[in-house]
Each structure stands twice: as structure tokens, then as C-alpha cells.
Amino acid sequence: MDERVSDLFGSGNAPESGSFSSASASNSSNSTHRTSKSYNVALRKASKKSKRNSKPLFSVNFKASNNAPYLPPEAEEGNIEYKLKLVNPTQYRFEHLATQMKWRLQEGRGEAVYQIGVEDNGMAVGLSEEEMRASLRTLHRLAEKVGADITVLREQEVEYDTEVPRKIAEVLVRKVPDDQQFLDLRVAVLGNVDSGKSTLLGVLTQGELDNGRGRARLNLFRHLHEIQTGRTSSISFEILGFNSKGEVVNYSESRTAEEICESASKMITFIDLAGHHKYLKTTIFGLTSYCPDFAMLVVSASTGIAGTTREHLGLAMALKVPIFIVVSKVDLCTRATVERTVRQLERVLKQPGCNKVPMVVGNTDDAVIAAQQFAQSPNITPIFTLSSVSGESLDLLKVFFNIIPPLSNSKAQEELMQQLTEFQVDEIYTVPEVGTVVGGTLYSGICREGDRLVVGPTDSGQFHELTIGSIQRNRSACRVLKAGQAATLALSDFDRSLLRKGMVMVSPEMEPTICWKFEAEIVLLFHAKTFHKGFQVTVHIRNVRQTATVEAVYGKEELRTGEKAVVLFKFIKHPEYLKVGAKVLFREGVTKGIGHVTKLQPISDHHPSHSENEDS
């Protein structure tokens, strides 16, 4: 954890010093929409510094070179395959290619990218028009054979020492959905109040543009007071699907979430978090508990970095959630104002606490590159500039969502599924004719209707037995819930009063460790005075959210902003189920800190008892 991230919190809501000065602007890029070439230079630098996996980069500027350009050599693992050409394969080769495609799809959890016209060593030789057409036809037949569809993401001419133009093509292969097991990515939506978050989600998920006076967001509000004030105070979920052909599936053609789920191969679930400072608790809960894959920070082009923007950026960075930025409302501003906001963002992103490489997305090619680069390097920060009213550049964001791959591969997913079942209880509802229903995320294992689990801990550290009734994902029935997926589970007549948010439902064999006290290595991000023994803070650890007292700060009397220490915390209300290594975020007023659990003090040496639920 980089303690320099505290710089983002230190200045709080104060206006950014020196913003928009021409001197600093000239240090950064001179235009909002840069060419792919300039990104690529920056990206290659960034990617050298940090790579998330062994997948190759796709940042070669094919047009720029007079000789055959190179991609990095093909990686054996991962979901990216290079093929020089696929012209008239024999039956035997066709079968071999189909098996290979199945494997690449599995590696990418249902998605693979084929680079056609590229040798295994990465040399982008290119194909003639005719060879390319024949190769794409073969790829289409292969995809059909394995139950997938293809979409050409981009074609590029390679300047090679030949008269005949030669091209390479980048093709997305995506499995047709199978038994509701679509690829599911979660995106936390952050941003200052009125930056246009809910509106953007309304436009993306309902398929209808906004009128600038809040029409698009109306569908998203959950509570009466939100409709009246126009503010999002609760966490809401919105879905945007893509079918195997890469087309958007949303409420514009489908009537229900069930219909969307049925035809989508990939689902983006947006977690709409509140922008106003008074809902910060909810925002943090959304980031820590709902395990988002990415965070989308919405910034209004007209106001720039204002209000909670810096804090939200800091939180996402402290929690290591990869972030990309949407500058909204460009229809309201001159081009110069939009560029000023982009430059302001670039400056903040490049400062030492952030250390990011901003990447302004200006066309479809950029959006394709941004999606791939973003998944490979945590430093890359794509910036979109768009309008939910005129629809300008909305397409680029959709291209990005369509292509953006999951960060975990199929192996990591399989490993999590092999572990014992653990479901985080984030929401509790009473549904007429169904009874008690819990909402949350399956952290590990799998879960089926009829499974017997235990839920807890109670105030006395106990767990109650229960049986899982029906399971729903995105409001439609689901037979098997797999690790990483969010769902609602019916618990029929289980007594609701025995449940609270922050509990876990686990396999009875798990024997979870319950504790009142735990140690964490923390760094203080911001504190008005000092942080010492006796101080009380709200602690967020995954779905746990409780006040805790600082019982000891080891090796130090007190902590100041930016300092690190191991701290002993004690919960004040009830014991919690925690794990060593879990991320900790705590706050109290302006005080904020981040770290991870290093040691647990279990409530007793023997394991917590399981008790029968008298009402079930």
C-alpha cells in the first residue's frame, strides 16, 4: 500500500491548487484526443513497470513502421491467440483449431481474442484482402463449431515492404450463453454529487438519452426522497448486457432483467454509489463489500475535480480497485473547458500518490486498446469524454465495456470454486410469499438450492443452521451460484431477526474464526490531529462495518498522516468473522486509514457452536 495516496485525502475538498495554469498544462498533453501513437509510447512505458499477467500488449502502432511491426510473442496461457492465416484448413487441422479455440475461450472465461495475420513470434506480417476474408470465414466456422460468435474489433494496415496492402485483424470470439453462466463484471460507479452518474447509467441501461433535466435517472431511484431531491442515497444495481455478437442487450429491447440475462453472454453490473459526502459510508461499503472488478469515476466536464472526486479516487486507489474516468456533460461546455478538465485529471493522475498513466479515448481503436491495456496494467487509466444528452462518444464507452476482460482467469475462478462455501450477507429483505431473502456475494465455493449452511456470527459468536431455498441472479432464477457471483437467496421461514448485514453464510465444515479483537497493519491517510489509543473509528472489512476502539498502537504513542503502524482494534457491538490478509478501511469524520488484517484474537480456543434455529 502506497502511503502517498494520502495526498489525495489531505487536500480534501479544497479546490485543486494551480489547476488550469497554462504552465502546468503545457507539461501535459496538448490536446484532449491524442492519437494512438502517443498512447502507445506512454502505455509501453507503463506496461513495462507493471504487468498484471503474462498476456501480450497490443500497443504496436502498425502504421508508424516501415518494416514488419512486432507484437510481443504469443503467450501460451491466457485468452489471446495469434494466427498467421486460416485459409482452407484440412479437416484434421480444423478439428485441432476448434479444440484450441475452446481452450482459449476457457482461459478467458468465455471470451478470446484472435490476432489474424500475426505470427507466433509476434511479427505482424499481415494478409492480403482475399486471405483475410478466407481466414475470417474459417474463424467464423470454428466459432460456430464451439458455440461462439465472432466480432472484428479492428483491422489495421501494416506497412510492409510490398506493393500490395496487407492487413491484420483483431477479432473477439465470445461464447453463446449457456445455462445462465454469462461472464459477469462489476463496476462501482463513483463521482461527486450531480456529476451525472445515475443519468449515465440510465442512458446505458435503458437505451434512451437524457433530456438534461434528469429524465434518464428516474428509472434508477429506489426511495421517495431520492425522487424528490434527485440524489442517490442507497446502493442500486443496474445491468448492461452484451450478446455473443457484441451487441448491447438492455431494456430498450428487453422488458425484464430475465430477458436480458437470457440473451447476454456478458453482463456489466453497475453498482451506483452515492456522490454526496454524507453518504460516504455507503460508498465505502459498496467498494469494500461488493468486490467490484473496476471503478468508474464520473466527473462533470463543467465543474472538473470538485467535491468528493478526489476522495473517491483516493478510496478506489487505496482499495486497489482499477479505475477509469468518464468526463460527462461535454454538451454543456466548450471544447476548451473539456480539455481543461481532462488536463486537470491528467495532472492529478500523474502525481506521485497516484502514479497513473492517463489515456484519453478519442476513437473506436483507442477504446479497444484501452480495454485491453487497462486489463493488463493497473496503472493505465482510460478517460472518456461524453454526453448523456447528445449521446456524443457514448459508443466508445460501450465498445470499452464490450471488450474489457475479467481480471481473474478461469484457473483462479476454478480454485475459488473448489474452496468451502462462503456467502457474504449484504442485504436482508422480507418478500411476500417468499419469506426471508438475503442478498450478497458468494466469496468462495458454489451454492445450490437445498444446500445446508450456517449463518453468523450472532452477538454471542454462534452460527445458526439454515437451508437455501431458491436462488436468483439479476432477478432471474439460477440453479448453481459460483464463487464471485452476486445473488439473492431465499431462506423461506428463517427468522429475519436472527440476521444482520455483515454476517456470513458458510459451509458447516468451515469452523470460522470469530473475534472481538484483531491486529492490522495500517497507514493513516488523513487525520486532523493525531491518532492514538482510545480513538474510535468505523471499520470496513469486506462486508463488515462496525465501530471499533483502538486498543493499542504498537511501537508508537500516536500516528500522524502518512505514518504506518500495527494497531489493535476491538469491535464495540459484536464479534465478527474475519480473515488474515483482508483489506481494512477505517474512518471517523475526516480521519481515514487503510491497511490489512495481520492477526486475529479468536473469541475462544474452541470453535464457535452451531445452534438450531428454533423458528426454522
By the criterion CB under 6 A, which residues form the site for ligand GTP? Answer: 191, 193-199, 210, 212-214, 217, 230-232, 274-276, 328-329, 331-332, 387-389
How many Å apart are CA 539 and CA 517, to the nearest integer?
A: 12
For the record, the C-alpha cell of 525 comes out as 491517510
Cβ closest to ligand GTP, residue 331 vs residue 511: 331
Burial 337-367, CB ≥16 within 10 A → b, else e: bbbbbbbbbbbbbeeebbbbbbbbbbeebbb
Q: How far is the CB of 503 from ligand GTP (least distance, A)?
A: 29
CA angle 171, 166, 111 (to 5 degrees): 10
Q: How far is the CB of 312 from ligand GTP (least distance, A)?
A: 11
Cβ closest to ligand GTP, residue 218 vs residue 566: 218
Cβ closest to ligand GTP, residue 101 vs residue 216: 216
Q: How far is the CB of 222 from ligand GTP (least distance, A)?
A: 11
Cβ closest to ligand GTP, residue 330 vs residue 438: 330
How many Å apart are CA 168 and CA 156, to the nearest integer?
A: 5
Cβ closest to ligand GTP, residue 305 vs residue 505: 305
**Measuring CA to CA, which residue among 570, 598, 571 is closest to residue 583?**
598
Burial class (CB in 10 A: 0-12, 13-18, 19+), 598: middle
How many Å apart are CA 244 and CA 181, to the nearest integer?
A: 13
Q: How far is the CB of 232 from ligand GTP (least distance, A)?
A: 3
Cβ closest to ligand GTP, residue 148 vs residue 361: 361
Q: How far is the CB of 207 from ligand GTP (least distance, A)?
A: 16
How many Å apart are CA 386 and CA 388, to the nearest integer?
A: 7
Q: How far is the CB of 197 from ligand GTP (least distance, A)?
A: 4
Q: How far is the CB of 237 from ligand GTP (least distance, A)?
A: 14
How many Å apart are CA 501 and CA 235, to the nearest integer?
A: 14
Cβ closest to ligand GTP, residue 197 vs residue 343: 197
Q: How far is the CB of 280 from ligand GTP (least distance, A)?
A: 12
By beta carbon distance, the residue nearest ligand GTP is 275
CA angle 9, 11, 13 (to 5 degrees): 90
Amino acid identity, residue 133? Answer: R
How many Cβ atoms are within 10 Å of 41's Cβ, its own excluded? 11
Cβ closest to ligand GTP, residue 265 vs residue 341: 341
Q: How many residues does the chain have?
A: 616
Residues 324 and 374: beta-carbon distance below 8 Å? yes
